[in-house]
Structure 1
Amino acid sequence: MSTHTQPGQQNRIDELRSTLTSDFDRHTARLTELTADTGDPAEAYTRDALVAETRHSLEQITGALRRIAEGRYGICERCAAPIPQERLEVLPHARFCVSCQQKQH
């Protein structure tokens, strides 16, 4: 899904952008709730973990939206090969193809 989209791909990209934007809004609201100080020190550890997880999700969503805007969505950042549609359906924020992702670890 690069800048040269085929018919039907643009609809998929538009739907994905809408879904990612909704996810971004939902995670932002969650982060706002999580960072509100409840004054309960027993909840601090759990809350900190949830805040870190939510921030990570926001970073992934933001990155995917940026790649869409730049016309780089669906292209592996390491080898520049197309990321399979099946992978993007499961992980819409995927930055790497499966082969390159395995090399990252």
Structure 2
Amino acid sequence: MSIDVDRRFAVVHAALTDELDRQTARLRELTEMSADTGDPGESHNQEALIAATRRSVEQVSGALRRIAEGAYGRCEGCAGAIPAERLEVLPHARFCVPCQQKQVG
């Protein structure tokens, strides 16, 4: 790997690690304050926030795992390279855009 690629992965790894720390703290905070308020709407919102935060933690953890395994930036659908622009916007992306569209389509 070139020095630029190594440096880019180090920057991505650091950013993802920071994001994982933030999301893990948020999840801990949300689950600690999830006491039943008696308001079904509030309870539903709280559950939705917890579920979304858990998904975020899983996505970021997966990206960190792919970096460690040397698979980061490779599409899990076609094994092609995920464009750098996509990874800049969505650093935990597992699929290139065409394969992602197949996943949701």
Alignment of 1:9-28 (within 5 A): 9-28=5-24
Aligned to 1:54: 53
Gap regions ≥5 residues in structure 2: none
Q: Which has the higher contact order (CA 8 A, sep 6+)?
A: 1
Structure 1 residue 91: deviation in Å? 0.6
Count the aligned residue pairs: 101
Gap regions ≥5 residues in structure 1: none
Deviations 1:26-51, CA, capped at 9 Å, x for gaps: 11111111111444232311111100
Q: Which runs of 4+ in 1 moved over 3 A?
A: none
CA RMSD of aligned residues (A): 1.1
**Counterpart of 1:90 in structure 2: which amino acid?**
V
Structure 1 residue 6: deviation in Å? 2.3
Deviations 1:57-76, CA, capped at 9 Å, x for gaps: 00000000000000000001
Aligned to 1:78: 77
Percent identity reads: 55
Q: Give TM-score, length-normalised by structure 1.
A: 0.90
Aligned to 1:40: 37
Q: Give TM-score, length-normalised by structure 2.
A: 0.90
